[in-house]
Amino acid sequence: MEWGLENRIASIIKPNNNRALMLAVDHGYFLGPTEKLENPKKVIAPLLKHCDSLMLTRGVQRTSVSATTSTPMVLRVSGGSSIIGDDLSQEDITVSIEEALRLNASALAMSIFVGSKYEYQTIVNLGKLVNEAAKYGLPVLAVTAVGKELGKDARYLSLACRVAAEQGAHIVKTYYCENFEKVVQSCPVPIIVAGGKKIPERDALQLTFNAIKGGAVGVDMGRNIWQSDNPVAMIKAVRSIVHGNSNVDQAFKLYKKLSSGKKQKNKSNKPNQNKSNKPNQNKSNKPNQNKSNKPNQNKSNKPNQNKSSN
Ligand code: R5P
């Protein structure tokens, strides 16, 4: 393998243990302001030092990540459809190689939609991206996207992962499933598992543990970290499995300990201003605007993004 390519892959999959912890924050590229990722800068800042690499779009990289970071960037270069459009599978390559190099990307990421209407277009785009990226030693991560009509079982995911690897993807991101070992065994390149919809923290840690045990090199997790009530505690707990070989009980214990530590700290650092020093302005002087005047925008106005996304 060429030095540049090998070096970039080694910055994503750590060579000392062949493991990877990627933080995914690219959801806005088709979901818009995803719940709890409305302000990517605020979300990313406290988590950045705990992940091995960050998966994101160029827009979020430019606006919401400090250029002084040493964390490698896995740049999503595909897009073109949104959650409210006709067909999510209609994606093209939207970022040039020159732009990716300017942004100092360590890898390029794009989705393929195997079995969808736009299967041909997305698979050919993967092949072409690998051709272009190869000129500069840039690795390509293929995301095996799933949709309403696409499967999520070992048979389907094995097919999708293998197709991605055959086109030259250096890393494949897919979903955990029953008989996941079969997916890994039939894919000649490293597999990283996506977190998927938010589930209880212990379940997300179990998923991480199962994925590693099943042969994945790591996880590329988004919602189950930043939609957690305690994102830093959660990423540290996930990290303890990926890099520390913790089991699920140990990782969950760590999550709870770090979460309760945070609560204690908050309690001891802040005096309760409402009770002691100030009159409760909300109760006495102002109407509760949230309750009476404004609709709860998250609940009422937006499509349920979690349901329609993966
Ligand atoms: C999906 O296509 C996006 O690329 C996300 O990066 C991916 O789904 C991982 O994020 P999550 O853990 O929230 O599923």
Per-residue pLDDT of the chain (310 residues; tens, 9 = 90+): 899 999 999 999 999 999 999 999 999 999 999 999 999 999 999 999 999 999 999 999 999 999 999 999 999 999 999 999 989 999 999 999 999 999 999 999 999 999 999 999 999 999 999 999 999 999 999 999 876 566 789 999 999 999 999 999 999 999 999 999 999 999 999 999 999 999 999 999 999 999 999 999 999 999 999 999 999 999 999 999 999 989 999 999 999 999 997 666 666 555 544 444 343 333 333 333 333 333 333 333 333 333 335 5
Type of residue found at 135 = K
Report if residue 300 sits inside a domain.
Answer: no
**Active-site residue (options: 173, 256, 265, 302):** 173
Distance 195 CA to ligand 1 centre (A): 7
Q: Is 77 in the pocket of ligand 1 (CB under 6 A)?
A: no
pLDDT attached to residue 152: 83
pLDDT attached to residue 295: 33
Report if residue 266 sits inside a domain.
Answer: no
Tokens of 13: 């999959």
> Nearest residue CA, atom 2 of ligand 1?
145
How far apart are alpha carbons 281 and 307 in whole angstroms?
A: 38
Residue 216 · residue 195 · CB < 8 Å: no
Report if residue 278 sits inside a domain.
Answer: no
Report if residue 276 sits inside a domain.
Answer: no
**Among 33, 39, 40, 88, residue whose Cα is nearest residue 302:** 33
Report if residue 306 sits inside a domain.
Answer: no
Report if residue 128 sits inside a domain.
Answer: yes
Report if residue 285 sits inside a domain.
Answer: no
pLDDT attached to residue 8: 98
For residue 170, count CB atoms less than 10 angstroms from its CB and return exposed for 0-12, middle for 13-18, buried for 19 or more.
buried
Q: Is 196 in the pocket of ligand 1 (CB under 6 A)?
A: yes
- Please tell me the total count of domains within the chain: 1
Residue 215 · residue 45 · CB < 8 Å: no
pLDDT attached to residue 282: 39
Concerning whether 173 is annotated as a catalytic residue, the answer is yes
pLDDT attached to residue 20: 98
**CATH number for the domain including 82?**
3.20.20.70
pLDDT attached to residue 212: 98
> Nearest residue CA, atom 7 of ligand 1?
194
Report if residue 279 sits inside a domain.
Answer: no
Q: Is 27 in the pocket of ligand 1 (CB under 6 A)?
A: yes
Print the domain residue range for 117: 3-261
Q: Where are the beta strands (DSSP E) in the chain?
A: 20-24, 53-56, 73-76, 78-79, 92-93, 107-112, 140-144, 171-174, 191-194, 218-221
Q: Is 223 in the pocket of ligand 1 (CB under 6 A)?
A: yes
> Nearest residue CA, atom 9 of ligand 1?
194
pLDDT attached to residue 122: 97
Q: pTM of the predicted model, to two decimals?
A: 0.85
How far apart are alpha carbons 202 and 204 in whole angstroms?
A: 5
